[in-house]
Amino acid sequence: MSSQEGPCTFTFDGRSITAAPGQTIAGALHQAGVHVVSRSFKYHRARGLFCATGRCPNCLCTVDGDPNVRTCVTPARPDMAVRSQNAWPGLKWDVLSIFDRLHRFMPVGFYYRVMHKPRFLWPVFEAIVRRIAGLGRVDRQSGGRRRYDRQTLHSDVVVIGGGWAGMHAAIEASRGGCDVTLVDDREELGGHALFDPVSWVEREPEFLSTVQAVVDDPRIRVLKRATAFGCYEDRLVAVQAGDRMIRLRAGQVVVATGGWEKPLVFPGNDRPGVMLASGVQQMLWRDGCEFPGDVVVVTDNPSGYHAAHALRARGTRVVAVVDHNETPAADPGDLPVRTGQTIHSVSGRRHVTSAVVGPLDAAAASSESIRCRWVVQAVGFTTASGLLAQAGCRLVHDESRDLFRVDRFADGFRAAGAVNGTFDIDACAREGRLAGEVAAAGEGGGSIDITPSETSPPVRRPPQGKKAFVCLCEDVTEKDLFDAVAEGFSNIETLKRYSTVCMGPCQGKMCQSGSIDACARANGKTVAETGRTTARPPDQPVPLGVLAGRAPHRHLVRRTALHDWHTEAGAVFLDSGAWKRPESYGDPSAEYQVVREGVGLIDVSTLGKLELRGRDVAEFLEFVYPNRFAKLKVGRVRYGVVCDEAGIILDDGTIARLEEDRWFLTTTTGNADGVDSWFRWWLATRPDWDVRLTNVSGATAAMNLAGPMSRQVLSAVCDGDLSTEAVPYLAASQLTVAGVPAIVLRIGFVGELGYEIHVPSHLAEHVWRELMAAGAESGIRPFGIEAQRRLRLDKQHLLAGQDTDALSNPFDAGLPWIVKLDKPDFVGRSALQRAQGRERGQQLVGFRLEGDRVPPEPSLVLVDGRLEGRVTSARYSPVAGATVGLAWVPAESAGNGQQITIQLDGQLVNAVVQREPFYDPEGTRLKS
Amino acid sequence: MDDRGQQGREDGVSVMIPCPHCERRPAGEFHFGGPLRDRPGPEAPTGEWIAYTYDQPNLRSVQWEWWFHRAACRQWFLVRRDTRTNQVLESAMPGEVATGMPEGEAGDE
């Protein structure tokens, strides 16, 4: 059963505990006599193992720093440090159990009413409530060390639940030729069968061979210790497997998740020693535990008798089997059976000491108190139908069996076994095989008939008194629910939200039937009329780390073709979207200076680059840009701004006409994909246009050779005539640079004579090295983004996205000349027509701030103490001898020479608006 | 319109979108482009333009809508989807579908 060899030792609240091989933490604690495992959420009542199947909140402990570990399904490992939760100073004597005496003053929802008056005190109360109520604490230290991963899997058929029905479904689906994934949350396949040997004693060979058939089938992938916690659209099943989240995409899904035993609601039903029969069975057979002392079994079906027999075989004295039915539900043998009776309450604080049993109608006089240490209940199952409900299957209440089951499946879904309300072993196998066959045929879904069974509905127990807990997670009693209904929260959904029933760690697995039952009775309705709350993921609690998961493939890093060169040259890199770009090579000021005075070279490969060919490119460009392109001559390049239909600037870049029907466009680094998508959309709306768009962003590298000496450097590696007559400002030339065919754009983002050289990526390093070599004598230096930002700011060249935002149109951004409203139609024309001449709040202007203090972005622009604008870019400019920048300022302050006030380090400083470039306003250097 | 920050958007929805070029792929690979609509003519009244620009119809109906397969073929195409159930019914190439009123009345169930 376990890979472990011998016993191991771990600690529980510092005490040393020895676990037998294969034992769970909880099993070892039980065997060591630790019967109080936790303190309850609100009243700090002592709680012991209850469901022992990984559902209820009672066994939650902090294990090696991880809070809320379900110790009843977690195998013990050597040297684990297990700590109890929500108890101080300790489990045995918890100071806050005083709340249990004060419960009269703490009705359901009391903190909503009491602690919000006066309102300002709520944060104080909240801090206290959070400390004393609730579950474990996150250990930030150990939390940070954990690594969570994610994985994507696909399968023709996914079977959720590896019990008898699920195994048969998997085998049958595989036989039908499908790849099958079987998801099971236990250590071993087999489900309930593993823990009910009485029913299975004659079928052991059949059971073992079925498990073997699943394990041996190469088409069945078994995910053990894996919890399916969500079913999303198009059959995406979310699975937690330890620290890994699996996104499992299924062609068809068979849900065979079984059921959960329903707890009874009676006073003291949460006391340590009260347990579910299925949990007791697990602890007997899986953990080898014993239950010394006397036991009272309460049941209405054969499984209670099985549990009684099993307990007796391990030395427990069965003092009573209390059967709701008038005739025993199974052959009682010599068990002391009391038919037609039920349990009314138990006594004992830290452990059960006695139970009161008597007739169902609760005539107190005829009740009898029985001394016992254990109360085991086996009164039927709730279907584990949460995943089916999430998937969109319709669940109806089956009156005859008192459970919810599917009558209409969502597309691609089927269910089999106990989750269908089928408990008979042979029927489960039949259903499993049928579901597997249907799934293999790809025919899941559809409606099924629910024929009422012959059996009469189970006997209902009458309502109970105080301290009868419906919800162990949140300490909600039956009385709380009745009170809440009386207050008007009568709908099951509002009742849930108000009382928090079903909202704790068990997510309704323990309390759903009890709360629906209580709600129905309080309203005088049937269970079917009451309905159930909406099922949402996660079906079982999931650590947030698993949801957040590491996904390395999603953290793309893009490097340009020149990255290695930059690294060797000592570049300091900067993240620019997914790109790594050199911010500088160590000395941005020197890099700035060399471009102004000599020559520099910058890698601009991250620019988006689009090539457009076709007869209608000019018409297309006229349509997607507000400015004109139809008459752009071959061999020329023009600046353009892309606007959306609201006239807002999306991006800017250059548009070059290389040949009559061949154009080359650049976009900003960040918007490369966006502009590509935007253009493709407009092209898709006009299939009649002859325009072919090719994104050559990755295929093409680009570098900008800039500075007064750039012409002579380029001449050294380029045969063509580079004189201003041959290659004037705004020329788009196709030249051979260092032997490589290149598109050379004479543009000047940095305000100097310069050439933007586009070459195939695989030849970029060669071209770059040749240019660096050719410029060696001229003192060429590579420059990074920081120097480029300073250089462009001298010229007041804006950066789309940095200096503009989602409200910026070309008129306000200082680019009114770019909008040609006399064109008949273009994207954004209507909005720009409306915007033209309208007095807008803010304008983008240059400003000059004397001194060398640089306001960080986005420093505020204030007018009479009011926020009226912001600084979008600012740097110290050596050529201006002052700090310069761009800022959005009120229209009335936007005139040349006007003063604006900027908040800098908490002080107000005055700057002057300058509406022309700080450097070379006539552009003579650009055009030289 | 831009793709910034969308690299990792595979978790939002789990529906599969039938790309005409790449077949069924998870919706996280795609970019939603809104319902198929007629763009007003250049001389349309201002009110019509304002409605087109700023009002998203967001109808409860079966509608044709634009999808862009950003993570693969980078092509726009049209998907017919029931916005009430989020059921994806079919896909088509641009030009194969005429714009017009969506099927089914807004608000019907």
Alpha-carbon dihedral angle through residues A43, A44, A50, A52, given to the nearest 10 degrees = 130
Cross-chain residue pair A644–B31, CB shorter than 8 Å: no
Predicted local confidence at residue B4, as pLDDT: 34
pLDDT (tens digit per residue) in B83-98? 998 889 999 998 888 7
Chain B partners of A249 at a C-beta cutoff of 8 Å? 26
Is A681's CB within 8 Å of B39's CB? no
Is the pLDDT reported for residue B9 higher than 60?
no
Rounded-to-integer distance, Cα A546 and Cα A68, Å? 14
Confidence at residue B97, expressed as pLDDT on a 0 to 100 scale: 82
Chain segment A281-295, per-residue pLDDT in tens? 999 998 999 999 999
Retrieve residue A227's tokens: 């919890």
For residue A107, name the pLDDT band (cuts at 50, 70, 90): confident
The model's pLDDT over A179-195, given as tens digits with 9 standing for 90+, comes to: 999 999 988 899 888 88
Model confidence pLDDT, tens digit, residues A789-843: 999 999 999 999 899 999 999 999 999 999 999 999 999 999 999 998 776 679 9
pLDDT score of A137: 74
A232 interface with B at CB cutoff 8 Å = yes
Asked if A685 and B31 come within 8 Å (Cβ–Cβ), the reply is no
Instruction: Count the neighbouring beta carbons within 10 Å of the beta carbon of residue A454.
Output: 6
pLDDT over 90 for what percent of chain A?
A: 68
For B86, the closest chain A residue by CA position comes to: A233
Alpha-carbon gap, residue A769 to A565, rounded angstroms: 9
Residue of chain A nearest B78, judged by CA positions: A684
On the question of pLDDT at A154 being above 80, the answer is yes
- Assess whether pLDDT exceeds 60 at residue A453: no
Q: What is the pLDDT of residue B8?
A: 45
Q: Which residues of A touch B66 (CB under 8 A)?
A: 681, 684
Residues 642-661 of A with CB under 8 A from B: 644-646, 650-651
**Residue A506 pLDDT:** 87
- pLDDT, position A142: 62
Q: Report the pLDDT value the prediction gives residue A459, as an integer from 0 to 100.
A: 63
CA distance A834 to chain B (A): 9
Shortest CA gap A78–chain B (Å): 37
Residue-averaged pLDDT of chain B: 82
| Domain locations in chain B as residue ranges | 4-92
Nearest residue of B to residue A550, measured between CA atoms: B8
Q: Could B4 and A695 be called an inter-chain contact, meaning their C-beta atoms sit closer than 8 Å?
A: no
Q: Are strands A60-63 and A66-70 parallel, antiparallel or unpaired?
A: antiparallel
Q: Please provide the average confidence, as pLDDT, over all residues in chain A.
A: 90
* Residues in A touching B54 (Cβ below 8 Å): 646
What local confidence, expressed as pLDDT, does residue A117 receive? 66
A551 has a chain B CB within 8 A of its CB: yes
Three-state SS for A515?
helix
The answer to whether B74 contacts A236, with C-beta atoms less than 8 Å apart, is no
Beta-bridged to residue A242, according to DSSP, are none
pLDDT for position A1: 41
State the pLDDT at residue A718: 93
- Phi then psi for residue B34, to 5 deg, are 85, 170
Task: Indicate if the pLDDT at residue B109 is higher than 50.
Answer: no
Tokens of B67: 């999808």
The tens digit of pLDDT for each residue in A69-86 reads 999 999 999 999 999 887
A153 touches chain B (CB under 8 A): no
| pLDDT at A246 > cutoff 90 | yes
Write down all domains in chain A, each with its CATH number in brackets.
8-98+131-136 (3.10.20.440), 149-260+383-447 (3.50.50.60), 263-379 (3.50.50.60), 469-545 (1.10.10.1100), 566-605+698-807 (3.30.1360.120), 608-697 (3.30.70.1400), 839-928 (2.40.30.110)
Q: Identify all chain B residues contacting A646, using CB atoms and an 8 Å cutoff.
A: 53-54
User: Do B1 and A684 count as a contact with CB atoms less than 8 A apart?
Assistant: no
Nearest chain A Cα distance for residue B107, angstroms: 21
Tell me which residues of chain B have a C-beta less than 8 Å from any C-beta of chain A. Answer: 1-4, 7-8, 10, 13-16, 26, 31, 33, 39-42, 44, 46, 49, 52-54, 66, 68, 70, 74-77, 86, 94-95
Confidence bin at A462 (pLDDT 50/70/90):
low
pLDDT for the residue A805 = 92
pLDDT score for A145: 67
Whose CA is closest to A27, among A282, A324, A336? A282
Model confidence at A908, in pLDDT bands (50, 70, 90)? very high
| CB contact A680 to B (< 8 Å) | yes
List CB contacts of B61: < 8 A, sequence separation 6 or more. B82, B83, B84, B102, B103, B104, B105, B106, B108
How high is the pLDDT of residue B58? Answer: 87
Q: Is the peptide bond before A89 cis (omega within 30 degrees of 0)?
A: yes
**CB-based contact B76 A673, cutoff 8 Å:** no
Neighbour count for residue A700 (Cβ, 10 Å): 21
> Where residue A41 falls among pLDDT bands split at 50, 70, 90?
confident
- State whether residue A629 sits within 8 Å of chain B by CB: no
Nearest to A747 by CA among A702, A782, A778: A702
Across the interface, do A670 and B33 touch by the CB < 8 Å criterion?
no
Q: Does the pLDDT value for residue A369 go beyond 70?
A: yes
**In this structure, what is the dihedral angle of CA atoms A330, A332, A336, A338, given to the nearest 10 degrees?**
30
List chain A residues with CB under 8 Å of B44. Answer: 830
The shortest C-alpha distance from A671 to chain B (Å) reads 6
Q: How many angstroms away from the CA of B98 is the closest CA of chain A? A: 11
Mean pLDDT in residue range A370-374? 96
CB contact under 8 A, A685 and B2: no
Mutate to test the interface with B, among A239, A644, A830 (most CBs of B within 10 A): A830
Q: Region A869-890: what's the mean pLDDT? A: 95
Average pLDDT over residues A215-225: 96
- CB of A830 within 8 Å of a chain B CB? The answer is yes
- Between chains, do B94 and A556 touch, taking CB under 8 Å as contact? no
**CB-based contact A143:A243 (threshold 8 Å):** no
Q: Which of B44, B46, B70 sits opposite A677 (nearest CB)?
A: B70
Q: What are phi and psi of A251, to 5 degrees?
A: -70, -45
Chain A residues lying within 8 Å of B1, measured CB to CB: 644, 650, 674-675, 677-678
Q: Measure B94 CA to nearest chain A CA, in Å.
A: 6
Contact across the interface for B1 and A678, Cβ inside 8 Å:
yes
The mean-pLDDT minimum among A94-98, A168-172, A270-274 falls in A94-98
Interface probe for B, chosen from A677, A686, A804, A807 (most Cβ of B below 10 Å), is: A677
A18 at interface of B, judged by CB pairs closer than 8 A: no
pLDDT, tens only, A676-693: 999 999 999 999 999 999
pLDDT band for position B2 (cuts 50, 70, 90):
very low
Contact criterion met (CB < 8 Å) for B14 and A829: no
The pLDDT of residue A503 is: 87
Size of interface A-B (CB pairs under 8 A): 81
Q: How many CB atoms sit inside 10 A of residue B62's CB?
A: 16
How large a percentage of chain A has pLDDT more than 70?
93
A residues 769-828 lying closer than 8 A (beta carbon) to B? 824-825
Give yes or no for a contact between A781 and A706, defined as CB atoms under 8 angstroms apart.
no
A680 vs B49, B74, B86: nearest CB? B74
Scanning every residue of chain A, which has its alpha carbon at the shortest distance from the alpha carbon of B28? Answer: A554
**A10 and A3 Cβ atoms separated by less than 8 Å:** no
Q: pTM for this structure?
A: 0.84
Kindly give, in sequence order, each residue whose CB lies less than 8 Å from that of residue A586, ignoring residues fewer than 6 positions away. Answer: A570, A572
CATH fold of B4-92: Folate-binding fold (3.30.2270)
**Hey, what are A164's tokens?**
């008898």
Tell me if ipTM is over 0.85.
yes
